[in-house]
Amino acid sequence: MTAPSLASFNRIVVKIGSALLVDQVAGALKRAWLESLAADLARHAARGAEVIVVSSGAIALGRTVLGLPRGALRLEDSQAAAAVGQIALARAWSEVLGDHRLTAGQLLLTLGDTEERRRYLNARATLARLLALKAIPVVNENDTVATSEIRYGDNDRLAARVASMASADCLVLLSDIDGLYTAPPAQDPTATLIPIVERVNASVESIAGGAASEFSRGGMRTKVEAARIATGAGIHMMIASGKVDSPLSVVEQGGRCTWFLPSENPTQARKRWIAGVLAPRGAIFVDAGAATALNHGRSLLPAGVLRVEGEFARGDAVVVRAPDGEELARGLVAYDAADAERLVGKPTAAIEEILGFRGRSAIIHRDDLVLTGA
């Protein structure tokens, strides 16, 4: 089986860990390495790809600035270090991307931002808008406010959630190891690299190690968990070494890596999830003109809505029905039921006047809608 090519993907998420970005002894940024990676990202942006970065490093940088000791930090010290380090990290990304005339935009997320529907949609809309404006979002976990109970704890799974949220088609995890091996290579000299994983199953998870294994503490287990999230959302995922300059270029020139393959593309996976997994919380009845527009791939605008049923909140799944009640589609609604009711039959231009704020132009955006009627 032939491995995919990075050049074939249109929306790429690249995750970088603290150990790659920050010199663990000096506590200083590895500026030359970061500049080489920025050149890689700029090259893909120049060919028209959209790029998102998930970057660790805030705590590692901040603890040096604050003079905090090496080793495990208390929660309040970690949060303080993150607050200081995040400024330095954002400045570094802004500078190295700016050298290529690229704009960086910072997003700090917590677990709830990717798990709670309303916050998920807000974060997703921000990502989409930044990409539309040709900026590169730089995402990190918001360690200044996240506690152990409400945090990811690793940026591998956060990166997978971000890739899913952004409907990316490729996720790259840059690591201190160049892929998934048949056994921990530091312990087993006969271990061999697995270049392609067609499906994340129990045997693949067992290779990554259990919770108590040295391999797991090295991070491979969270990477395989990230692969399960990503491939389940229709996203290709790659683990590659970040211990070299220009790591994406190295892979593209034949460097070693492991690819995890999805069974479907991101759009198919998202549509299947909307159509079959979510329990609808209400219904929106539309006129014949709106029904025709939906069948032609358009969004559902307020003007085409006849009436609203049910008690739903923004981000909930609803059924879209024809005037006779026949199901046409399902989607994630952009308004609470009360606000949607006030917009029934109204032109998009009147939304701000009616609601008192500038909301989404569509009741259900086409990216959040799947046709389900016969």
Annotation: binding site for ATP: 15, 175-176
Annotated binding site for substrate: which residue ranges? 56, 143, 155
Contact residues for 191 (Cβ-Cβ < 8 A; gap 6+): 181, 182, 183, 184, 185
Phi, psi of 291 (to 5 degrees): -60, -45
Which ranges constitute the DSSP H helices of the chain?
18-21, 31-46, 58-66, 75-98, 111-115, 117-132, 155-165, 202-208, 214-217, 220-232, 247-252, 266-276, 288-295, 337-343, 351-355
Phi, psi of 269 (to 5 degrees): -65, -45
Annotated binding site: which residue ranges? 15, 56, 143, 155, 175-176
**Continuous segment of H or E residues that includes residue 176:** none
Which amino acid is it at 171? L
Strand partners, 307: 285
Q: Under a CB-based contact definition with an 8 Å cutoff, are residues 58 and 73 in contact?
A: no
Residue for token digits 């088609």?
169
Cα separation, 23 vs 20, in Å, equals 8
Residue for token digits 């499906």?
199
- For residue 214, the tally of other CB atoms under 10 A from its CB is 11
What is the number of residues in the chain?
374
Contact residues for 53 (Cβ-Cβ < 8 A; gap 6+): 13, 14, 15, 16, 41, 93, 136, 137, 138, 139
Q: Under a CB-based contact definition with an 8 Å cutoff, are residues 317 and 332 in contact?
A: yes
* DSSP 8-state code for residue 181: B
**Continuous segment of H or E residues that includes residue 5:** none
Cα separation, 51 vs 148, in Å, equals 29
Q: Which two tokens stand for residue 113?
A: 């931002």
Distance between the two ends of the chain, CA-based, in angstroms?
37
